[in-house]
Amino acid sequence: MACAAESGTEAGAVKRAQLAESASRPAAPPPAGFWDITAVTQTTEGPWRRLRGKAELVSAEMSFAAEEIDYNEDTGYVEARGSVRFLDSATRQQLEAERVEYDLKEETGKFYKVRGWGPPAGPPRPGVLASQNPYYFEGAWAERLQDRYLLHDGFVTNCRVPNPWWKLRGPTFDIVPGRRAIAYGSLFQVRKIPVFYAPFFYKSLERAPRKSGFLTPNIGNSSRRGKMLGVGYYWAINRSYDLAYRAQYFTQRGLAHHLDFRGQPRRGTDYDIIIYGVQDRGQKLASGARVKQGGFSAYGSGSSDLGRGFQARGQVNYLSSLPFRLAFTESFNEAIFSEVHSIGFVKKNWSYYTFNSVFARLENFQSLEPGDSVVIRKLPEFEFKARDRRWGHLPVWVSLESTAGLIRRNQPLFQTRQFLERMDLRPRVMTALR
């Protein structure tokens, strides 16, 4: 879930993360395997190094900063107390705690009264709202087990603290920076108001997460369709294609299918195809007869950069019948809208000119009766436009709009021939009168 960016003098998670990093990272880290040790006072007791006052323990892989640090050079054990700041350079994970116990050799440790920041996940798929804020977590204590963090009795969010807009609170979180986060028995809260409970919640932290698997089942009830149960599966075919299929069973009407296929075969080209259909048993009337309203709808959109300034874009909509839309649509706008539009075009802009090649189809349903619709097609239509341009040094500006194409109109009692030519030419001349 994303939070809107906020401004002000109060430091947010991003600023605090930057301050923590700058405070704990030296200008030039030591070589791998070596530690830089600094403090106001240092004492040595055998293998123990006692650092007091602005103590820092820094290597190329990680760093500790605290008021007091005790470090055993033989065992690699570190105990830090008082405003402890920890930075993992590899994962950019940053933690603050009151006290830290850490084993450098085993890469394990415990952090008490902890809070931390991690880098945001990578860019989401188009159409999904996301945030570039780092994710923030806070808890009673946490432990590190090599590349994992276990957070106990805490919460996670990516909103500004100390009053985040939303947070996920739970007894245990299992976090692998840059890979995934798992919450057990968590409660999702919005402005401290509980919204839903999840016994198990998984969130990917990868830059481009793609993993096949079953979708969350959904249940519901409708006065027109009866009780409903839905299951689905997401298939990450490869890096360029994926497919999602969901089946929904309505006890009074039948089985519905929803298929979403997306592709990006090359850079600058992408498309999305959605097909929805219902195998309808029919709406039962008072007489006992059934009126079937099944059918399907298809939607497709795509775009491609063709090179040399040409761009192709398109959107295809097809509806088998208006009664199907009225019976099974989930949108109020669709329920009251009787038109179906499809359009595809190739476009190029250069200098003062624009060229379009357009294929279009418009179907307007006049009633619920089959075949009672008006269909208008462009097969294709070419457009050439010239923007306002001054004619020499004269106070005269000229422009042009022109179209030429083949069109066709079908309706119950009338239809044109297969290809009907049409051409429009609209030159325009303007001047300034003083």
* pLDDT tens digits for range 389-425: 998 888 899 999 999 999 999 999 888 888 889 999 9
Give residue-wise pLDDT tens across range 167-224: 999 999 999 888 888 999 999 999 889 999 999 998 877 766 678 999 989 999 988 8
Measured between alpha carbons, how far is 104 from 60 in angstroms, rounded to an integer?
13
Measured between alpha carbons, how far is 150 from 373 in angstroms, rounded to an integer?
62
Per-residue model confidence (pLDDT) at position 334: 80
Per-residue model confidence (pLDDT) at position 33: 62
Per-residue model confidence (pLDDT) at position 66: 96
Measured between alpha carbons, how far is 58 from 80 in angstroms, rounded to an integer?
13
Per-residue model confidence (pLDDT) at position 13: 44
Per-residue model confidence (pLDDT) at position 1: 56
Measured between alpha carbons, how far is 92 from 132 in angstroms, rounded to an integer?
15
Per-residue model confidence (pLDDT) at position 317: 95
- Name the fold adopted by 13-204: lipopolysaccharide transport protein A fold (2.60.450)
Per-residue model confidence (pLDDT) at position 298: 96
Using CA atoms, how far residue 344 sits from 103, 300, 313, in Å, is: 63, 11, 6
Whether pTM exceeds 0.85: no
Per-residue model confidence (pLDDT) at position 32: 61
Per-residue model confidence (pLDDT) at position 360: 96
Burial 395-417 (b: 16+ CB within 10 A, else e): eeeeebeebebebbeeeeeeeee
Strands 166-176 and 148-157, sheet pairing: antiparallel
Show the low-confidence residues of the chain (pLDDT under 70). 1-33, 120-133, 207-209
Per-residue model confidence (pLDDT) at position 2: 56
Strands 213-214 and 218-222, sheet pairing: unpaired
